[in-house]
Amino acid sequence: MRKRWLLFFLTVLMGLHAMGQTCAEIASNTLCAQVEEIPEHNLSAGSFSYGCFKSSTSFSYLITTGGRGGTLSINIQRTDCDYIQVDPISGTAQVALDSIFVTLIKIDPNLGACDTSTYINQVGCYLMLGETQTFELSNPPVYSDFMLVVGSNHNTTLFGDCSLKVWASGDPLMLGTTRTPSFIFAGQEAQISVEGQTPGESVSWTPEEFVGNANSAVTNAFPTETTAFSAESKIGLCVLTDTVVVTVGEAIDFFNALSPNGDNINDDWQIYGIQKFPRAEVNVYDRWGQNVFRSIGYATPWDGSNRGKKLPTGSYYYVIELNSPVVYIEPYSGFITIIH
């Protein structure tokens, strides 16, 4: 099991954008999880030798894990990494795949990767087989920096360039956003948070007008309608985003008619959900604009009367202002009909 873990992580780092460079350039070749176009690079740099790893051509890359657990997936595709093999007896020639070697070295980000004496440890040396390969690693170490070295003994002079495409995905290389609760009514708040970013890195939420602190990893959100909130931050040198959706339901609900005839069916005007808004103001007007009902808080539902006298059958205009202390909600207005 340990051998498999090592193999997976080695190949993980292989995902760094392959291109020839000196060790001083490793930091500029960083594998990030969110890459729209996967570049193809030729395996044609200098040799590398450290511990069990020796190769005539090699490349080194940087990968940084965030603070989340989970499975990290690395996909590798190689092209033209082959040579002509001749049988010494029959003289028959055939195409054979070159060996692609991978090693992973844990490094101190403050010391860099040029001096082998600063390496913390070498995970191992492994071999990639086939034209494509996917490696999966469960719960790699968090907040760690690694140097990936990919090498081969491919002879570019005789057989041309050997090229690689590498891409990665998975929670250890990505941000993770959450919200609690997932559903709110307009005028309520939900808590949204992001995790996985490198400690000390700034966070930016959008749309910022509906959050309490647009630069806090944990903040309150108070949208008036269902809204997707995106958090942006960094893991190592990678700028990443993740999105969480807060679903918003109507703040209140009600019928547009009442029949105050004593049969206990729609005898008064029930406004469902208004108890969440103790500052709500409800006004009802007759056809001449005279106020026939006014209530703040709506503790007692309107029964279709004005000062104890039943109002005649007809349509009445209402305005409901919720006066939420959290966020502005458009007033509800329209007509309600009294039926006797």
Distance, CA of 206 to CA of 187 (rounded, Å)? 19
Q: pLDDT value at position 22?
A: 56
> What one-letter code names the amino acid at 79?
T
What is the C-alpha to C-alpha distance for residues 185 and 47, in angstroms, rounded to an integer? 62
pLDDT in tens, 25-81: 666 688 899 888 888 877 766 678 888 888 887 878 888 999 999 988 878 788 888
Angle at 97 between CA 9 and CA 16, to 5 degrees: 30
Report domain extents, the chain. Answer: 2-170, 176-249, 253-338
**Res 108: pLDDT:** 86
The confidence score (pLDDT) of residue 80 equals: 82
Sign of CA dihedral 223, 227, 233, 235: positive
Give me the pLDDT at residue 6, please. 36
**CATH 2.60.120.380 assigned to 2-170:** yes
Which pLDDT does position 201 carry in this prediction?
A: 97
On whether the CB atoms of residues 177 and 194 are closer than 8 A, the answer is yes
CA 21/CA 24 separation, integer angstroms: 8
* Domain at 176-249, CATH class: mainly beta
Query: Low-confidence residues of the chain, pLDDT below 50?
Result: 1-21
Structure token pair of residue 109: 């980000």
pLDDT for residue 191: 98
Q: Is the peptide bond before 109 cis (omega within 30 degrees of 0)?
A: no
Strands 183-185 and 238-249, sheet pairing: parallel
| CA distances, 295 to each of 157, 221, 299, 302, 317 (Å) | 88, 29, 8, 9, 15
| Amino acid at the residue 140 | P
Q: Are 124 and 103 in contact (CB under 8 A)?
A: yes
Predicted TM-score (pTM) of this structure: 0.74
Are both 176-249 and 253-338 of the same fold? yes
The yes/no answer on whether domain 253-338 falls in CATH 3.40.50 is no
